């Protein structure tokens, strides 16, 4: 590993720790030439996932593109950077579990929508409106009605009290 300060290749590892939810090893290194310390991260090199676009072309899966699209959808919403990181990680993990070499862009978009739907309905609708490319207001309203009905059902189930059994106090 080359020292970022003096470009020497002579260094030693001072400390190693598992980082980023077990996906990386963080190593603290000390340069033997200039005695300065620096940090490196090591990741397991896995196959590069390819995304098949709507036009049929393939491009490498890019976590930063997923992050950017989520950030744009969450603009001015009460969603932390940590929440956005978690959503990107969930999408990445779900794609890795599929074990495929390439995946349709619609699958990536659907995974992002799942993450947004459970965290923030406004961000979900923002993303869905671009992702699904609504052609008219009726399609947009239909999505809002569906989302509202789903939210009402969940609230009703959550607030529903259990009835006592016969003979129990």
The string of DSSP letters for the chain reads ---TTT--S-EEEEEEEEETTTTEEEEEEEETTT--EEEEEEE---PPPEEE-TTS-EEE--HHHHHHHHHHHTTTSS--HHHHHHHHHHHHHHHHHHT-SEEEHHHHHHHHHHHHHHH-HHHHHHHHHHHTT--SHHHHHHHHHHHHHHHHHHHHHHHPPPPPPTT--
pLDDT by residue (tens digit) across 25-83?
999 999 999 999 999 999 876 668 999 998 999 999 999 999 999 999 999 999 999 99
pLDDT at 140 over 80: no
- Please give the pLDDT value at position 169: 54
pLDDT by residue (tens digit) across 104-118?
999 999 999 999 989
pLDDT by residue (tens digit) across 2-24?
999 999 999 999 999 998 778 78
Overall pTM > 0.75: no
- Please give the pLDDT value at position 138: 76
pLDDT level of residue 164 (50, 70, 90 thresholds): low
d(CA 1, CA 27): 11
- Please give the pLDDT value at position 77: 94
Instruction: Give, in degrees to the nearest 5, the angle at Cα 163 between 162 and 168.
Output: 120
pLDDT at 167 over 90: no
């Amino acid at each position: 590993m080359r020292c970022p300060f003096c470009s020497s290749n002579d260094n030693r590892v001072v400390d190693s720790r598992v980082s980023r939810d077990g996906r990386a090893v963080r190593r603290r290194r000390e340069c033997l030439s200039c005695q300065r310390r620096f940090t490196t991260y090591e990741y397991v090199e896995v196959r590069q996932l390819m995304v098949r676009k709507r036009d049929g072309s393939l491009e490498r899966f890019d976590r930063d593109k997923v992050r950017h699209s989520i950030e744009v959808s969450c603009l001015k919403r009460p969603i932390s950077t940590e929440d956005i990181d978690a959503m990107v990680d969930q999408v990445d993990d779900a794609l890795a579990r599929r074990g495929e070499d390439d995946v349709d862009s619609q699958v990536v978009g659907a995974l992002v929508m799942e993450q947004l739907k459970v965290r923030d309905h406004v961000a979900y609708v923002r993303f869905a409106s671009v992702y699904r490319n609504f052609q008219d207001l009726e399609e947009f309203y239909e999505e809002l009605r569906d989302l509202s009905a789903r939210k009402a059902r969940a609230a009703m189930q959550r607030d529903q009290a259990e009835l006592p059994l016969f003979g129990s106090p």
